[in-house]
Chains A and B, each alone.
Chain A
Amino acid sequence: MGNVKMTIMVTLALGASVASADKLSDFKEAVVKKGCESIPYSDYRGSCQSNQGQVHDWCDGARGPVTCGSENITRQVKDNLEKEKKTVEALKDKRSKLQDSKSRASKEDEKNKLGKDIEQVEKDIYEGEKRVEQAQKDLETRKKLVDDAIYTLDKCIDYRRAVMNSFAAALDKVRNENETREISDLARQLRNRYEEGKSGHEEQITARNNSLTTCKNSRP
Chain B
Amino acid sequence: MLPEHATVLEQLRAAFPVEPISSAGAFDSWGTTYPDAEPYAKHLEGKTWEQLDRSYIIMRADALGFLGTRQLVAVLPVYLRGLLEDGVWSASGDTLILLLTKPEPGTKTGLKLQRFEALVAALTPAQRATIAAVLRAFAATDEGGSLGDRARAALERHWTAYLPGES
Contacts and interface: CB of A to CB of B under 8 A. Distances in A.
B65 A211 contact: no
Interface residues of B, number: 42
B31 A206 contact: no
A61 B65 contact: no
Contacts of B93: 67
Given A208-B94, A210-B94, A48 B62 contact: no
Contact of A71 (B61, B146, B150): B146
Contact of A203 (B37, B59, B95, B150): B95
Nearest to B35: A35
Nearest to A190: B32
B37 to A, nearest CB: 4
B88 A69 contact: yes
Interface string A27-46: 00000001110100000000
B31 A200 contact: yes
A214 B95 CA distance: 13
B46 interface: no
Interface stretch (B3-11, B106-114, B123-131, B158-166): B106-114
B142 interface: yes
Contacts of A59: 62
Interface in A184-210: 193-194, 196-204, 206-208, 210
B58 to A, nearest CB: 10
A91 interface: no
Given A60-B59, A70-B148, A200-B66, A35 B34 contact: yes
B147 to A, nearest CB: 6
A147 to B, nearest CB: 17
Given A34-B38, A35-B38, A69-B88, A204 B65 contact: yes
A55 interface: yes
B36 interface: yes
Nearest to A30: B32
B120 interface: no
A36 B35 CA distance: 6
B145 A163 contact: no
A73 B64 CA distance: 28
Interface residues of A, number: 39
A34 B29 CA distance: 12
A152 interface: no
Interface in A143-195: 163, 167, 193-194
A66 interface: yes
Nearest to A216: B146
A2 to B, nearest CB: 51
B73 interface: no
Interface string B80-106: 000000011111011101110000000
A194 B33 contact: yes
Contacts of B146: 70-71, 210, 213-214, 217
Given A197-B30, A203-B65, 11 more contacts: A38-B32, A48-B35, A67-B89, A67-B91, A75-B144, A163-B35, A194-B33, A199-B112, A200-B30, A200-B33, A203-B95
